[in-house]
Amino acid sequence: MSAEALFQRGLAEAREGRHEQAAVTFAEVLHADPGHLGALVSRGSALLRLRRAEEAEAQYRRALAIAPRQPLAFRNLCILLNDAERHDEALALAQAALADAPGFAPARTALGNALAGLGRLDEALAAFRSLAAAEPAAAEPQAKLGLALAAAGQHEAALAALDRSLELDPDNALTRLRRGLLNLQLHRFGEGWPDYEARWRLAPGDAHAAGLIAPALTARLAHPTRPEQLAGRRILVVGEQGIGDQVMFASLLPDLVRTAAKVTCVVDARLVGLLCASFPEAAVFSPDTARISPAEIDDLVAIGSLGRPFRRNVEAFPGAAYLKPRAERVEAWRARLGLRPQGLRIGLSWRGGTPVTRRTTRSVGLDHLAPILALPRCEFVSLQYGGARDELAAAGLEHRVRAFPPEDFDDFEELAALVSTLDVVVSVQTALVHLAGAIGQPCLAMIPSAAEWRYGARGDGMPWYRSVRLFRQDPQRSWAPVVAAVARDLAGRLPP
């Protein structure tokens, strides 16, 4: 088979979502023709879908070594760098390209993205405004401008830019989703939820976290708009996105249980025990244990799609606790922790996310937490996902912060039981905030200036949970004022 025939076969495999096989096929093309630009770029994209970012980067760089202005290779490499929070590298790449070719559109877009990632929002806005003015009939510059305006807190202007982008490209699912997320962040739930459903029209690799719903199932999903559509039905609810999202959206299960004839849930295995204890009326399984016949259900619904029928406005959020670990698990942790301190027992989580979900901007260094750790009569317990003993030891805090083996509370019922024994939780933007709110435990959440939509655009509260208080960074992205405010709040909770 010729190299070109192999290349076409690889493209077909990629279109079918068979990215592993496509990567192999494109490698065969490159064995026969090492300079095949299409195979280099396409293999990079297949590897990126497989989350093999380092290998994908190598393919894109090989393509650019042959053709420095190959648009797709340049665009994808810059996206990869920005997603990995390597914004300085993306900026340098864009600036070098623009020095040689000032009109090279992918470099102008990459420049704005990198500046936004570095927090240089005024420069990013200028870059995207320039790009939008240069290409008034192009949808993407308007969408990028909208995102930069949103990051700068100019929400109405951001929505207007996203509207203009959708006028130019009405079928762009990513832009529609972004508009939906911005409306949700502004607590305009009636406007946000319909656009939020556009997430199912994205390519699997664009969604970063598809949860438990395989691409083949998306066509079977129901998208209810009113509670009546679920009344008397046998509903299979499937978890999606990250575990924090599944905890948050589980707040909708009580509404569904009251409405549907039967509710079956398939969620992350770490949540099964906690949801079984909290919702005895529902059947809860992990993907490994679920054995559900199509004859047993009437509708398949993604858990995030329950927001549209049940949470159309802020007033529809009860904010009450809805998850509860079994009493014996709580008592086991209480006994394990032993005698309570005279002051407060405080849970800590200072690191959140992954490179793709902005770990750097969401995390606080242990050295920044000194004002909190200096509080008298307090005992601190690490709730850090993935363990923290080595990190605490390196910071000289192994005797100040208690740390248990991470596998002891990897299961979320164990984590919920541990959290239930504490007086208060202090956490960065991570799933722990949702868990604390879900069980009604006081939580002081340290939030970056550009917070995820779930945390809203402003204010110190979340409609999802009454027990969570938000402490937001200022636009300068400094954690010091946030930590100082949290320390003052904790000091006010200390008994006399």
Write the pLDDT tens digit of every residue in 88-118: 999 999 999 999 888 888 999 999 999 988 8
Q: Does residue 148 surpass a pLDDT of 50? A: yes
The answer to the question of residue 243 being in a domain is yes
| Residue 208: per-residue pLDDT | 41
Mean pLDDT of 429-439: 97
pLDDT at 209 over 80: no
* Inside any domain, residue 65: yes
Q: What is the pLDDT of residue 90?
A: 95
pLDDT-derived band at 352 (thresholds 50, 70, 90) equals confident
Q: Which domain holds residue 441?
A: 327-493
What confidence tens digit (pLDDT) does each residue in 112-141 have? 999 988 888 899 999 999 989 988 999 999
How far apart, in whole angstroms, are the C-alpha atoms of residue 493 and residue 496?
9
Structural domain includes residue 430: yes
CATH number at residue 45: 1.25.40.10
Question: Residue 245 and residue 84: Cα distance in Å, rounded?
Answer: 22
Q: What is the mean pLDDT of the chain?
A: 91
For residues 334-340, give the mean pLDDT.
Answer: 95
- How far apart CA 319 and CA 462 sit, in angstroms, is 8
Q: Are residues 333 and 362 in the same domain?
A: yes
Could you tell me if 312 and 359 lie in one domain? no
Query: Do 222 and 291 sit in the same domain of this protein?
Result: yes
- 161 and 37 housed in the same domain: yes
The predicted model gives 248-269 an average pLDDT of 96
Under the phi-then-psi rule, with left for phi > 0, alpha for psi from -120 to 50, and beta for the rest, what region is 292?
Answer: beta
| Predicted local confidence at residue 203, as pLDDT | 63
| For range 228-233, the mean pLDDT | 96
The last residue of a domain, from among 206, 232, 251: 206
pLDDT band at 205 (very low <50, low <70, confident <90, very high): very low
Provide the pLDDT for residue 363: 87
Do 158 and 116 lie in a common domain?
A: yes
For position 274, what pLDDT does the model report?
98
Per-residue pLDDT for 379 more than 90?
yes
- Kindly state whether residues 56 and 96 are assigned to the same domain: yes
Domain count, the chain: 3
Residue 102 and residue 191 in one domain? yes
Asked which of 316, 339, 372 is the last residue of a domain, the reply is 316
Read off the pLDDT band of 158 (50, 70, 90): very high
Largest CA distance in the chain: 81
- Distance separating alpha carbons of residues 173 and 151, to the nearest angstrom: 20
Whole-angstrom Cα Rg for the chain:
24
Residues 454 and 406 in one domain: yes
196 and 254 housed in the same domain: no
Within a domain: 47: yes
Tokens of 261: 């004839």
Task: Say if CB 205 and CB 48 are below 8 A apart.
Answer: yes
